[in-house]
Amino acid sequence: MSNVRRPALEGTIAVRDARRLSFAEYGPRRGPAIVWMHGTPGARRQIPLEVREYAARQGVRIIGLDRPGIGSSTPYLYPDVVDWTHDLEVVLDTLAIDTVRLIGLSGGGPYALAAGAALPDRVHGVGVLGGVAPTQGDDAIDGGIIQLAVLVAPLLVAARVPLGVALTQGIRLVRPLAGPALDLYAALQPPGDKNLLSRPEFKAMFLDDLLNGSRFQTSAPINDLILFTRPWGFEAGDVRVPVRWWHGDADHIVPFRHGQHVVDRLPDATMTTIDGESHLGGLGIAQDVIETLMDLGPRRATAVPH
């Protein structure tokens, strides 16, 4: 079990349709806000410990937000990724946040981009760490592990509830062996992820997030995979806020070419290659990511010509 210190503030927020989303907050409440969207799988505490310390030291407010079906968030399947932004607006209003920056890790990337597309007046900038690329529409690209989800999408939709229950029960069974299980997973990864997962502070963070987030339910990863195989409800060209993307050139989960493909289609985006790193490489430079994002803004959206 992990002994990582709990967030300064943690709870749930009422959103649409009598649902709730759970969140964890780090740093001072009056600081500029960053919403951190966890990977797939993951939960609200999937934020590096050094980032939490940096937030407190630099006066940055970081909010980790669970997606529906993980932690205490009500299970729910959005019709598409962009629909999530309506819940995000409620969360921001409830936490008295006017404008915000977002960071999306892996499966959190599409959600962060959706906020940039749907809420340009509130979003100063978006950071993506090894983000998933679209599988449908004009922005789609093939290849990568995500194509397995595309192939089994009908099964995922039909069986998402029992699959979520089975996943939850499976994690509960291995809870006493969570540490050795993470070590085994790390041993099977490329050098970049293996090195990061061998660092005690990252191992502690992942264990704390996994064991806390999956305590009640674990259907969010299934919902993510379903949504990633559908049109997202927006196109890359709709994301007119600045996007800064970091991607390991040895990423074995989301190929580097997927990230470059999306960056090339975004109106205002830059790619930073993390040399020699694999899928989790962005977590190792998260402080640099935050410093880069803090330079984006404050800003307001400009009118888009018709």
Residue 297 confidence (pLDDT): 75
Q: Which residues pair with 80 in a beta bridge?
A: none
Query: 200-204, 293-297, 299-303 — which is least confidently predicted?
Result: 299-303
Beta-carbon contacts of residue 142 (< 8 Å; ≥ 6 apart): 135
Residue 122 confidence (pLDDT): 97
CA dihedral 206, 209, 215, 217 (to 10 degrees): -100
Q: Is 248 helix (H, G, I), strand (E, B) or coil?
A: strand
- Reading the block at residue 117, the tokens are 């597309």
Q: pLDDT tens across 205-260, in order?
A: 988 888 887 776 788 999 999 999 999 999 999 999 999 999 999 999 999 999 99
Higher pLDDT, 299 or 61: 61
Query: Does the structure show a pLDDT above 50 at 95?
Result: yes
Residue 3 confidence (pLDDT): 63
Query: 218-222, 246-250, 275-279, 291-295 — which is least confidently predicted?
Result: 218-222
Mean pLDDT, the chain, whole residue set: 91
Query: Does the structure show a pLDDT above 90 at 135?
Result: yes
Residue 69 confidence (pLDDT): 93
Distances 233 to 81, 92, 166, 227, 237 between C-alpha atoms, Å: 6, 21, 29, 10, 12
Query: Does the structure show a pLDDT above 50 at 1?
Result: no
- Reading the block at residue 19, the tokens are 């649902």
Q: Are 90 and 18 in contact (CB under 8 A)?
A: no
Query: Does the structure show a pLDDT above 50 at 305?
Result: no
Higher pLDDT, 127 or 212: 127
Q: pLDDT tens across 173-217, in order?
A: 666 777 888 888 889 899 999 999 999 999 999 888 888 877 767
Q: Is the peptide bond before 41 cis (omega within 30 degrees of 0)?
A: yes
The DSSP call for residue 304 is P
Whole-number percent of the chain with pLDDT over 90? 76
Query: Does the structure show a pLDDT above 70 at 304?
Result: no
Residue position matching structure tokens 């997973």: 185
